[in-house]
């Protein structure tokens, strides 16, 4: 969550990132509650922050769940 919030702060007009956050907020109560808290901390480990994303095959069970 901290890395995602940090990236969102660096790129507030990034449509892909905004869509991701919006999608997670509408589909996941836990994410929505944590995002709304605005709990921001400085991330001090590692050489830099790299957001990670994954995808699934469209016809797979995971792909179906992601599109629901």
Q: Say if residues 13 and 19 touch (Cβ distance below 8 Å).
A: no
Number of domains making up the chain = 1
Distances 36 to 5, 16, 22, 55 between C-alpha atoms, Å: 11, 19, 12, 25
What tens digit of pLDDT does each residue of 11-57 get? 889 999 999 999 999 999 998 988 888 765 555 555 555 666 666 66
Which tops the pLDDT comparison, 65 or 52? 65
In a domain, 51, yes or no: no
Q: Is residue 48 part of a domain?
A: no
Residue 22's domain comprises: 1-41
């Amino acid at each position: 969550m901290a890395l995602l919030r940090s990236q969102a702060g660096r790129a507030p007009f990034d449509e892909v990132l905004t869509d991701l956050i919006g999608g997670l907020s509408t589909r996941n109560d836990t994410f929505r509650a944590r995002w709304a808290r605005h709990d921001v901390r400085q991330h001090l480990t590692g050489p830099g922050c790299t957001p990670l994303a994954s995808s699934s095959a469209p016809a797979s069970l995971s792909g179906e769940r992601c599109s629901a």
